[in-house]
Amino acid sequence: MVSYLQNQTSAFLQSQLGYCYPILSSTASDPHCNVLFVSKLLGNIVLLTGTILKIPQISTYLSSKSVAGLSLPALLLEIHGFVIGAVYNVRVKNPFSTYGEGVSLLLQDVIILGLYGLYAKQMGLVSGSLFGFMSLGIGLYNQASTSTLQALMGICIPVFALSGITQLLLNYRQKHLGNASSVTAIFGWLMGSCRVFTTFVEVEDRVLFFGSILGVCISTVGLVQMVLYGDNTKKYLEGVKRKAKEELRSVGKKVE
């Protein structure tokens, strides 16, 4: 059993590190291989974190039965960007550790979109949107050339930026963040910062690198808003709870 685990670990590290694996396994030192090892480590941490990043946010929506504070245009734009990003990275065969969390976040965004449709009573809109995204992904994968996908990835940078800015503007207008999860926001910023490093080290694509930097900048503004509007957000959520209790009492009185 121990031997099997050692062999599997060696095979995994070999697939991740390539020619650097024998160097790092010996007493020799290579600056490039050391940086690559750190990048792969961070990339896999980001990948694992991405599988659960928005679970706290989803849990908040489920417990409150409300998607207050969520910008639907921002969410749709983000899903659009993740679909294109997933297709592009699969087609050009980038290392999964450099983009895998995007696939996980796409699936979590789809769940959030479903919750929006349920709680905002917009299931028709949500169903149509999901069909459109599925058609987009299948069509791009089967029909689009690599150069077209690369051009679309360039467009994804302003798409993701617009998504983030749309949410930031909604926060600014409301002066609160609704049911936004602080855990998701903080870990999202950390993941984005790690992704800047891994993209710089492992992928010779300045479009992706610039997009990573822009994403971190937008996440930073979101964290600042979370601090600035913290008291307002708390008061807003307390008001929502009071309103819900009053409605329950009202329903109870009508039943009596």
**pLDDT band with cut points at 50, 70 and 90 for residue 252:** low
Bigger pLDDT: 216 vs 101? 216
pLDDT tens per residue across span 160-181 = 888 999 999 999 999 988 888 8
State the pLDDT at residue 194.
85
> pTM of the prediction?
0.74
The contacts of residue 248 (CB under 8 Å, 6+ apart) are none
pLDDT tens per residue across span 112-129 = 999 999 998 899 999 999
pLDDT tens per residue across span 14-67 = 656 666 756 666 666 667 777 777 787 887 787 788 788 899 899 988 988 888
Bigger pLDDT: 152 vs 96? 152
Q: Is residue 186 pLDDT above 70, yes or no?
A: yes
State the pLDDT at residue 18.
63
**pLDDT band with cut points at 50, 70 and 90 for residue 10:** low
pLDDT tens per residue across span 142-157 = 998 888 888 888 788 8
